[in-house]
């Protein structure tokens, strides 16, 4: 075994991870239609990548209302649960571990996904963003998000219940745990930020109130499957989609402390990953480590060298790789052997068939 920290084992949620390499959640839009159902092709794709210490699935909507992009899978119907069983069975048979990412997009949606044409959000504020929508002609296009309707307190209670049911369904489907997506401008993130949350009730205005929805969702999910099997993804430094909140860093640090008190398994820090994105300051990493007593996953175009450095400094426990896993299903082996990495086909990221999805070869095998 390599003496690099990246290849050392770690116990998480009662599971022994053979390495610190995480497959990051990536939307690929390959679910079966109608019904947004996980399928055998997805099972093959994830099982090919089972050598990761942990797989976190693509974002998966907790309800029909939570959908924002075409062909993304759900976890709210019996058929969806059965579809995901194909995936978990395949990953476990290949020796892997897999968490399901729970998702409600909030205002990051399109009118065509909603009977009344309106996505929902903490406040009726448009995100100035687009989502991928496949039209009746079968062509996927980026379309503008409309102004959403503001959620009532009763609506909020129903969504929290949707998270609870989704966690139970994930457990029934055989997942080792779940990750609550609370970043990247989606619904929970919208509650956290003053730029997207203009409420004056128990879910807005003060920092404590803006954190309430996250903590109530976390509590509901943890009650279903156990707090140790729950992770939360946060993205303080991602400011697109009208999310540049001046209070977000302090809010995220306080969230980390509260999540630690709740006993969840990990926090997943999603970092800005474009080429000239700002670097995460070391003082924030130190604050996050001091605030949160569980495992910390970091994601954001990490190289093995950058990831190793953070592990050695004790500022992270696991390193998530996204793009590298697309065309390199055996990424841990390639990194361990310092083998070259294949490039992915950017035209086949969303939707389609096995091409550019499950047909990337492992080391020493040919691509058909």
Give the number of other Cβ atoms within 10 Å of residue 2's Cβ.
11
> Is 76 part of the annotated catalytic residue set?
no
Kindly give the pairing relationship between strand 177-181 and strand 266-270: unpaired
CB 189 within 8 A of CB 249: no
Q: Of the candidates 316, 366, 310, which has an alpha carbon nearest to the alpha carbon of residue 342?
A: 366
Q: Which tokens go with 285?
A: 């990493």
Q: How far apart are CA 75 and CA 104, in angstroms?
A: 11
CB 42 within 8 A of CB 87: yes
Q: How far apart are CA 82 and CA 37, in angstroms?
A: 8
Q: How far apart are CA 256 and CA 76, in angstroms?
A: 28
CB 65 within 8 A of CB 114: yes
Q: How far apart are CA 251 and CA 20, in angstroms?
A: 27
Q: What b/e string do you get for 178-201 counting C-beta neighbours within 10 Å, with b at 16 or more?
A: bbbbbbbbbbbbbbbbbbbbebee
Q: Of the candidates 332, 364, 321, 326, which has an alpha carbon nearest to the alpha carbon of residue 344?
A: 326
Collapsed DSSP state (helix, strand, coil) of residue 19: coil
Which residue is catalytic, options 186, 302, 357, 360? 186
Catalytic residues: 186
């Amino acid at each position: 075994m390599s003496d690099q920290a990246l290849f050392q084992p770690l116990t998480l949620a009662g599971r022994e991870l053979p390495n610190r390499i995480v497959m990051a959640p990536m939307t690929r839009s390959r679910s079966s239609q109608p019904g947004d159902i996980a399928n055998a092709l997805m099972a093959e794709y994830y099982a090919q990548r089972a050598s990761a210490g942990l797989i976190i699935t693509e974002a998966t909507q907790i309800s029909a209302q939570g959908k924002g992009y075409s062909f993304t899978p759900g976890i709210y119907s019996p058929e969806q649960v059965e579809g995901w069983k194909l995936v978990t069975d395949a990953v476990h048979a290949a020796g892997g571990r897999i968490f399901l990412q729970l998702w409600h997009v909030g205002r990051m949606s399109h009118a065509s996904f909603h009977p009344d044409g309106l996505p929902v959000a903490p406040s009726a504020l448009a995100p100035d963003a687009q989502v991928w929508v496949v039209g009746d002609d079968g062509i996927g296009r980026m379309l503008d998000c409309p102004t959403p309707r503001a959620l009532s307190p009763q609506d909020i209670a129903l969504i929290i219940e949707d998270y609870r049911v989704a966690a139970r369904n994930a457990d029934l489907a055989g997942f080792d745990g779940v990750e609550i997506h609370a970043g990247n401008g989606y619904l929970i993130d919208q509650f956290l930020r003053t730029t997207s949350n203009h409420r004056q009730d128990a879910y807005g205005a003060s920092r404590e109130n803006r954190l309430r929805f996250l903590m109530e969702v976390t509590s509901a999910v943890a009650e279903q499957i156990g707090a140790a099997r729950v992770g939360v993804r946060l993205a303080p430094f991602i400011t697109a989609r009208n999310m540049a909140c001046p209070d977000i860093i302090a809010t995220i640090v306080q969230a980390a402390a509260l999540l630690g008190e709740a006993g969840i398994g990990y926090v997943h820090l999603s970092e800005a990953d474009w080429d000239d994105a700002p670097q995460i300051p070391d003082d924030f990493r130190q604050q996050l480590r001091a605030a949160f007593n569980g495992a910390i996953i970091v994601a954001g175009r990490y190289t093995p060298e950058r990831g190793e450095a953070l592990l050695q400094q004790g500022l992270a426990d696991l390193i998530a790789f996204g793009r590298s896993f697309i065309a390199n299903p055996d990424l841990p082996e390639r990194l361990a052997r310092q083998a070259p990495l294949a490039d992915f086909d950017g035209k086949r990221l969303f939707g389609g068939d096995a091409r550019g999805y499950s047909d990337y070869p492992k080391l020493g095998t040919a691509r058909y």
